[in-house]
Amino acid sequence: MRPLEILTIILIAGSITALITHKERKIYLYLLFATILAILLQHFYEGNRWQFAFAIYLLPASYVCHRFQEKVINSITKIILVAWLAFAFIIPWAVPVFSLPEPGGNFDVGTNTFHWVDSTRLEWFTNEDPDDLRQTMVQVWFPGKNQPDNEPEPYLDNRKMHCPRGRVMGGSSSINGMVYVRGHAKDFDEWEGLGAEGWSYQECLPYFKRCETWHKGENDYRGGKGPLSTSNGNNMKLNPLYKAFINAGKEAGYPETPDYNGKQQEGFGPMHMTVGNGVRSSTSNAYIKPAKNRSNLKILTGVLVEKIILENKKATGIEYSINGEKKILKAKREIILSAGSIGSPQILQLSGIGPKSVLSNAGIEILHELPGVGENLQDHLEVYFQYHCKKPITLNSKLNLFNKGLIGIQWILAKTGLGATNHFESCGFIRSRAGIQWPNIQYHFLPAAMRYDGNAAMKGHGYQVHAGVNKVSSRGSIKIKNSDPSAKPSIIFNYLKTDQDRQDWRDCIRLTREILSQPALDEFNGGEANPGMEIESDEQIDSWVRANVESAYHPSCSCKMGSSNDPMTVVNNVGQVIGIDSLRVIDSSVFPTIPNGNLNGPTIMLAEKMADAVLGKAPLKPLDLDVWIDSSWKKLQRLAKPKREIISD
């Protein structure tokens, strides 16, 4: 914290104490004046910071209390005043999710509130423990002068794309949108086919089950005793648009699925999230918090890992810096690298493990040539279809301060309501064309039309669908630029490089528009606002997608798992780095290909499965269960013709 921040907190706390405990009101007034002065100084020297939200509620409330106490002072009054001040203290942190970030404003994720300080720093205030109202401030890497920054993407009009990472306990699971998608069964069969032995769906399924506690209880496909809580938020009960979207998908000729994480992914149905009892279920809450007091675990924060120490092709320790001081940790058994799809290849390359050309150009001694490190990079893109809504039922009416406060109070008191969900409560998975066996397009439905800055995208009410192509053929890379561990690597995804990816996006735009034009949405559909019906031809769609598509923040596959016969393989099927003893990589970087869905679920599953390998345990017994595949997939794109067909030129 900065000095004026600390001073503001102290002065506010002092003024409240003086208000409650002292009969002499001059002390309170002096402190109130000093607090206002400190806030003004802070605003002048440091900009608009989180204390302003604090002050908007707290200082006026305390002054009213001061005036009230001049007339009536007794124990009952004091109780009322303390309750009032407590309410004023808590409410700035009780703001629900409505949007994604853009520098310069606030955005909200579940019970978490974020604030952009500038293009390179993000403050995060969260209630990780429902019984503890402590605030935690972390920094997250986003593009900027001090952030990992994509190179200009050549097939996206040379745009630079955001590439965030969760630099906080629990990693990106602590800052993500809490969407829980395992991926399609065929994604994991694909892994095995690419050389990742033991990673078929039947072999992964028992680990998916072991991870989770599904709110509807355990069944053949879902777990009921795991650390990760999964649910459907409010079960689509608080807004009719959720089910209308599902019905529109069915009217467009697609199947309905009761559980896309179970037997059947393809189709439309309720969407699941890592939320339990209204609280985010991050890996920090689910795994780290229960284990953090173990005698054999020591957690270090504020650490920059600079490299892995190698001795004769064996990992023996790590070199790291903390508070500007370099230190070395020696490993008794082995080192497990879990720095994510950006950090893991970066650390390997800094350690002299990677492609010869990359290491040479960065001035790094080549200790072990491994061409696949940093290659095979994949990500998901998405766009936002936005429609005007004819009925005043969307979340756009909940953006004002009063409604946010009410939502926050309900969440604080009962962990229910709009603050207990990520608001993505219905979804869809479809195939873009005949001849592909499993879905390659994903939909998240949101009963609001929002901009990245958290404000409404239009006057009045609206709703939107997040649409994205999930099975991509374009490949990118991560390459260090020099030997400085604090320098950010060069990142390029080559989004939309291939003809197939571009065609998939044309299909995605047209199919999405057709779904959202079905009769089930007629009573709500006030017209397409974005992209707009004028965006119709291949050329127009291509141009609009290049200009508007955004990363879904799913970087992966940069240290791929596979067969030792594949020269681009980085790790074997238990995460061990090829050619290096006592070193494993266990995170989403080892995915051979990107799954059909959000990455949090499969990443946790992978960690559970590889944990057994680290401990020398036999893998769990495979589960021989059926998976639904459309029997007509070779000839048909969907089950039936749409009720209302949209004709394109």
SS3 sequence of 18-85: HHHHCCCHHHHHHHHHHHHHHHHHHHHHHCCCCHHHHHHHHHHHHHHHHHHHCCCCCHHHHHHHHHHH
Question: Residue 373 above 90 pLDDT?
Answer: yes
* pLDDT value of residue 33: 75
pLDDT by residue (tens digit) across 161-179?
Answer: 988 888 889 999 998 999 9
* pLDDT value of residue 446: 96
**pLDDT tier for residue 594 given thresholds of 50, 70 and 90:** very high
pLDDT by residue (tens digit) across 619-628?
Answer: 999 999 999 9
Over residues 403-416, the mean pLDDT reads 86
Lowest mean pLDDT among 224-233, 297-306, 394-403, 578-587: 394-403
118-125's contacts with Cβ under 8 Å and 24+ in sequence apart are 118/144, 119/143, 119/144, 119/145, 119/147, 120/144, 120/145, 120/146, 120/147, 123/49, 123/50, 124/168, 124/175, 125/50, 125/93
Question: Residue 75 above 80 pLDDT?
Answer: no
Question: Residue 404 above 60 pLDDT?
Answer: yes
Question: Residue 364 above 90 pLDDT?
Answer: yes
**pLDDT tier for residue 310 given thresholds of 50, 70 and 90:** very high
**pLDDT tier for residue 385 given thresholds of 50, 70 and 90:** very high
Contact between residue 184 and residue 439 where contact means Cβ atoms under 8 Å apart: yes
Over residues 458-487, the mean pLDDT reads 95
**pLDDT tier for residue 231 given thresholds of 50, 70 and 90:** very high
Token digits of residue 25? 């009101």
* pLDDT value of residue 647: 64
Cβ-in-10-Å burial (0-12, 13-18, 19+) of 136 comes to middle
Start-to-end C-alpha separation, the chain: 58
* pLDDT value of residue 204: 98
* pLDDT value of residue 7: 76
Question: Residue 72 above 60 pLDDT?
Answer: no
Mean pLDDT (the chain) is 85
For residues 417 and 82, which has the higher predicted lDDT (pLDDT)?
417
* pLDDT value of residue 220: 97
* pLDDT value of residue 452: 63
- Active site annotation includes 554: yes
Question: Residue 212 above 80 pLDDT?
Answer: yes
Lowest mean pLDDT among 38-52, 134-148, 222-236: 134-148
Instruction: Tell me which residue of 25, 37, 39, 31 sits closest to 11, measured CA to CA.
Output: 31
- Hey, is 249 helix, strand or coil? helix
Over residues 471-475, the mean pLDDT reads 97
**pLDDT tier for residue 87 given thresholds of 50, 70 and 90:** low
pLDDT by residue (tens digit) across 538-557?
Answer: 999 999 999 999 999 999 99
Contact between residue 607 and residue 586 where contact means Cβ atoms under 8 Å apart: yes
CA 443, 448, 449, 452 torsion-angle sign = negative
Question: Residue 214 above 60 pLDDT?
Answer: yes
Question: Residue 68 above 60 pLDDT?
Answer: no
* pLDDT value of residue 126: 36
* pLDDT value of residue 362: 97
Over residues 362-379, the mean pLDDT reads 98
Cα 239 to Cα 424: distance, rounded to the nearest angstrom: 11
Contact between residue 210 and residue 620 where contact means Cβ atoms under 8 Å apart: yes
**pLDDT tier for residue 67 given thresholds of 50, 70 and 90:** low
State the DSSP H helix or E strand holding residue 542, giving kind and residue range, or none if neither. Answer: helix 538-548
Over residues 432-461, the mean pLDDT reads 88
Over residues 345-352, the mean pLDDT reads 98
Cα 381 to Cα 390: distance, rounded to the nearest angstrom: 29
Q: How far is CA 611 from CA 295, 337, 586, 615, in A?
A: 19, 13, 9, 6
Over residues 576-580, the mean pLDDT reads 98
Over residues 193-222, the mean pLDDT reads 98
* pLDDT value of residue 259: 98
Specify which of 19-28, 120-129, 517-526 reaches the highest per-range mean pLDDT: 517-526
Residue 268 DSSP label: E
What pTM does this model have?
0.80
**pLDDT tier for residue 110 given thresholds of 50, 70 and 90:** very low
Lowest mean pLDDT among 43-57, 102-116, 205-219, 325-339: 102-116
* pLDDT value of residue 34: 80
**pLDDT tier for residue 95 given thresholds of 50, 70 and 90:** very low
* pLDDT value of residue 10: 77
Cα 368 to Cα 416: distance, rounded to the nearest angstrom: 53
Residue 6 CB partners (closer than 8 Å, separation 6+): none
Cα 17 to Cα 182: distance, rounded to the nearest angstrom: 50
Residue 16 DSSP label: H
Cα 282 to Cα 409: distance, rounded to the nearest angstrom: 23
For residues 57 and 343, which has the higher predicted lDDT (pLDDT)?
343
* pLDDT value of residue 196: 98
* pLDDT value of residue 475: 98
Lowest mean pLDDT among 109-113, 151-155, 166-170, 273-277: 109-113
Per-residue H/E/C for 178-196: CECCCCCHHHHHHHHHCCC
Lowest mean pLDDT among 30-44, 356-370, 542-556: 30-44
Question: Residue 186 above 50 pLDDT?
Answer: yes
Cα 48 to Cα 231: distance, rounded to the nearest angstrom: 37
Over residues 322-327, the mean pLDDT reads 92
* pLDDT value of residue 74: 54
**pLDDT tier for residue 457 given thresholds of 50, 70 and 90:** confident
